[in-house]
Amino acid sequence: MKAGRLGRHEVELGFKPRHAVRWLSPPELMRSGLRVMIAQMFASYDDRREIQAVFPQDTLDIERYKHADGQLWMDFVADLGDGFDATFTIASLLAQESLTVATPEGGTVDLPKAQLLVMGGDEVYPTASSEAYEDRTIGPYSSASLPTPNAALLALPGNHDWYDGLTAFMRMFAQGTPLGGWQTLQSRSYFAVALQPGWWLVGLDSQLGEYIDQPQLDYFEQAISAKLQPGDAIILCAASPTWESTSEGPMPLIH
């Protein structure tokens, strides 16, 4: 496996390629379950989203990343921080200047690299920490792309990103630092972007199934609601684990 061979070059790489998480391992299940319990317990007393109101953030601007003709291509990826092999494979595809893909008619089409990459949640597994992000996300994505950013990156926290109270997530994605060929833009765990005239991208932080906090509502009122025109369309992203709805009915096939 690539992770096993590359593990001997940790010093040169600057990170340690990790094997996929052994989700059914009893020790791993116990550790993850404990982190879930602690995170849910403290989420009710310490909502980090309310603290983020001190960080300035308006509607995010991605105009400088668009093609000269104004076109905007967007990629979406989620559940990406499991093991090096899978993470690096997807990152390598996202970093290509173009991809040739098959069409339903039997032909092919060349798709250009997206100028905006949206990470839709669970950017690290099994639980969040600075070391885990470096080894499981930052390292693989930086290694798979050019060092100079030429595209924008936005990220939403999933439940696994929240298991340390969102501390490491904010360090990785909300301080304006590049991630290989992608440049982070946000200063909070949620965002609003004007993609094209009449099209908006909204990313919600629903924490661990909690209510949307008031500072987040105020942000969207200012960044989106006050600027919407009749006929405008919104692409809404929210990281919500399937198990949040299993107690209310059958588990959906796609969530």
Please report where in the chains the tokens 């404990």 appear, as a residue: 34
**Ranges of each domain in the chain:** 2-248
* Parallel/antiparallel/unpaired status of strands 108-112 and 98-102: antiparallel
Residue whose structure tokens are 């496996």: 1
Convert the pLDDT of each residue in 202-216 to its tens digit. 999 887 667 788 888
Residues 161-178: what's their mean pLDDT? 90
Mean pLDDT (whole number) for 127-141: 90
Burial of 90 (0-12, 13-18, 19+ CB in 10 A): middle
pLDDT digits (tens, 9 = 90+) for 97-118: 999 999 999 899 999 999 999 9
pLDDT of residue 40: 63
The structure tokens listed for 124 are 């690290």
Mean local confidence (pLDDT), 137-156 = 91
pLDDT at 254: 41
pLDDT in tens, 9-35: 666 677 788 888 877 778 777 776 777
Q: What confidence tier does 252 reach under pLDDT thresholds 50, 70, 90?
A: very low
